[in-house]
A = this chain, B = another copy of it.
Amino acid sequence: MAAPDPPPAPQRRGRPRSVAADRAILAATRAALVEVGWSRLTMSEIALRAGVAKTTLYRRWAAKSELVVDAVAVLFDELELPDRGCLRADVEGVVISFAALLRRPETKTALMAVLAESTTDRALRARIREAIVDRQKRLVLDGRSRAQQRGELPPDPPDPAETARVVDLIFDVIAGAVVHRSLVSDCPVDETWARQFATLLLEGLGAASTSARPQSEQAQPDTF
């Protein structure tokens, strides 16, 4: 991720780019984003905070949006999926921790900003996918294979393309629901919501529509 425009010729000649400046710029970008928001985020402001000349920014990033993608991508790598013992608990856990990440001002502001720009910029879309989205699918893969080992989910179908479709679907449903709940509906993703969402995801609409709370772990699908 760290390497912006010219994919690094690992050791070129001449003065190397300052990695300290890189770090300072990305940190300054996150900080400025928190305070002023996307639309009032200026390159001059970032350069000032980073203690760097404005020209240095333009030498490394062609557009504000690309800079912001790199500035935020690292935040998403914090997400982990510790084994909580059963599929339901794993789902609730990842929902809670993803929501916590989205609650941080720099995360949500930057994420939505670059997504907005990406609707009219194909290259930026690709960059977002590589730097942020695709890397989080590991969470789904982990949780899924764990659940399969426990016997909570059927094994992979013979066609690997089918497996990929299912993983993508699950990822879109989980990530989409959390993002929509917290950033669009603007409601908190608390434990109650996570529990209800996990019920819906595991057992479907019928189960989620009953007021009865599933008692502890007893309510796993009986198909397995």
Copies in the complex: 2
The answer for the CA separation of A115 and B116 in the assembled complex, in Å, is: 8
Given contacts A113-B116, A153-B205, contact A197 B183 (CB under 8 A): no
Q: 0/1 per residue, A195-210, Cβ < 8 Å to B?
A: 0110011111111111
Min CB gap A218→B, angstroms: 16
* Chain B min CB distance to A195 (Å): 11
Q: What 0/1 readout, one digit per residue, does chain A (160-198) give for beta carbons within 8 Å of chain B?
A: 001001101111110111111101111100001100110
A14 within 8 A of B: no
Question: Is A153 in contact with B206, judged by CB distance below 8 angstroms?
Answer: yes
User: Which listed residue, B113, B183, B209, touches A154 by the CB 8 Å rule?
Assistant: B209
Question: Taking chain A's interface residues, is the majority helix, strand, or loop, or is none over half, making it mixed?
Answer: helix
Name the B residues within 8 Å of A171 (CB-CB). 185
Stretch from A4-12, A49-57, A72-80, A117-125 forming part of the interface with B: A117-125
Chain A interface residues (CB < 8 Å from chain B): 36-39, 65, 87, 105, 108-109, 112-113, 115-121, 125, 128-129, 133, 144, 152-154, 157-159, 162, 165-166, 168-173, 175-181, 183-187, 192-193, 196-197, 200-211, 221, 223-224
14 new A-B pairs (CB below 8 Å) besides A38-B117, A112-B112, A173-B200?
A37-B117, A105-B119, A109-B119, A112-B119, A133-B184, A153-B206, A159-B211, A165-B196, A172-B180, A173-B173, A173-B177, A173-B197, A176-B184, A203-B204
